[in-house]
Amino acid sequence: MSTAARLVTPTLDSDCAQRAIYWSAANNFRKGQPDVPSHVFVAERDRALDEGTGTTLIPLDLSDRLGLDYPATVPNLLARYVRVESGDRIAFELASSGEAYYAMEGDGEVEKAGERFAWAAGDVFVLPGAGGPTRIRAGAAGALLWMVTDEPVLSYFGIEEAPLRNGPGAVHYPAEAIEAEMALIHRRVDDGRQSGKAVLFSRADLEVNHLATPTVAFACNSLPPEEDQPPHRHNAAALTLCVQGEGVYSMVDGRKVDWMDRAVMVTPPSALHSHHNRGPEMMSSIVAQDGGVFYNARTLGYAPD
């Protein structure tokens, strides 16, 4: 049989052809995705601080406003408060490339992928995504933590299990070490080129891009009283947990956003924003960004105003 005899004439009414969608210069900009909103999570903060809430995970979920059918705080990140009552424990297994934590209150132990260590208030720690469930036990005073993962990235690709990745395992950043690093930052002379007074948490396999997990950039930021962090923008979205923010506010695309103790603020990607401390104490915050996505693509897009 000749090659020509085996050919089948394409049809426009086949199932495969019916699935096709065509975009062109005539219609390419008619349908857009919802913008990432500037937002402060207050109700979720109040629930996390309520003694009657019990041991639970509290997601900071804006999926309805983002037009997504899976939980997300911003398109690439999902943040949660983790509340564990006195002497209680919680276990969960998430599909992410890693888990970044800040211990807001209390102390306890965490176990993941065969490793176990104690943590206390003010500590930061990072866990691998794979390796079985994460188990967190609270001490006598209970515990409240803030957690950020890249679960939405895996959800976008339909990945339901945490991917295996070579790395150092769990990484622990004790509060005393963080305070020492921040003190070094504040002793340096500001030559006007610093974007802020912050320390980023990284590890050996991600050091080149200053990342805590393959996706998440995780940092401690600060600002002395009566100082300002100048206007700037970047392609990464930012989630900012207020640790100490009395008298602090941000300007986000021309809108004033007052900081609220232990609440989380969303700064949309590419939004022009600045931070201002008019309070009596040092501003302190923990900031998570989906910087790994943009570092890898070489499109971080940091730019001062």
DSSP per-residue letters across 242-292:
EEE-TTEEEEETTEEEE--TT-EEEE-TT--EEEEE-SSS-EEEEEEE-HH
Per-residue pLDDT, 189: 58
What lies within 8 Å, CB to CB, of 173 at 6+ separation is 123, 124, 125, 201
- Residue 24 lies inside a defined structural domain of this protein: no
- Residue 9 lies inside a defined structural domain of this protein: no
Segment 125-145 shows an average pLDDT of 97
Per-residue pLDDT, 134: 98
- Residue 28 lies inside a defined structural domain of this protein: no
Which segment of 16-25, 95-104, 202-211 scores lowest on mean pLDDT? 16-25
Per-residue pLDDT, 14: 85
What is the percentage of the chain residues whose pLDDT exceeds 90? 80
- Residue 17 lies inside a defined structural domain of this protein: no
Q: What is the CATH number of the domain that holds 289?
A: 2.60.120.10
- Residue 34 lies inside a defined structural domain of this protein: no
- Residue 141 lies inside a defined structural domain of this protein: yes
Segment 135-161 shows an average pLDDT of 97
Per-residue pLDDT, 255: 97
Segment 79-106 shows an average pLDDT of 97
Q: How many domains does the chain have?
A: 1
Q: How confident is the model at residue 190 (pLDDT cuts 50, 70, 90)?
A: low
Per-residue pLDDT, 15: 87
Segment 192-208 shows an average pLDDT of 83
Segment 187-195 shows an average pLDDT of 62
- Residue 4 lies inside a defined structural domain of this protein: no
pLDDT tens column, 102-114: 999 999 999 999 9
pLDDT tens column, 10-59: 777 888 888 888 877 776 666 678 999 999 999 999 999 999 999 999 99
114: which 2 tokens? 């065969």
Segment 243-248 shows an average pLDDT of 97
- Residue 2 lies inside a defined structural domain of this protein: no
Per-residue pLDDT, 30: 63
35: which 2 tokens? 């913008």
Q: Which domain holds residue 261?
A: 39-298
The mean predicted confidence, pLDDT, of the chain is 92
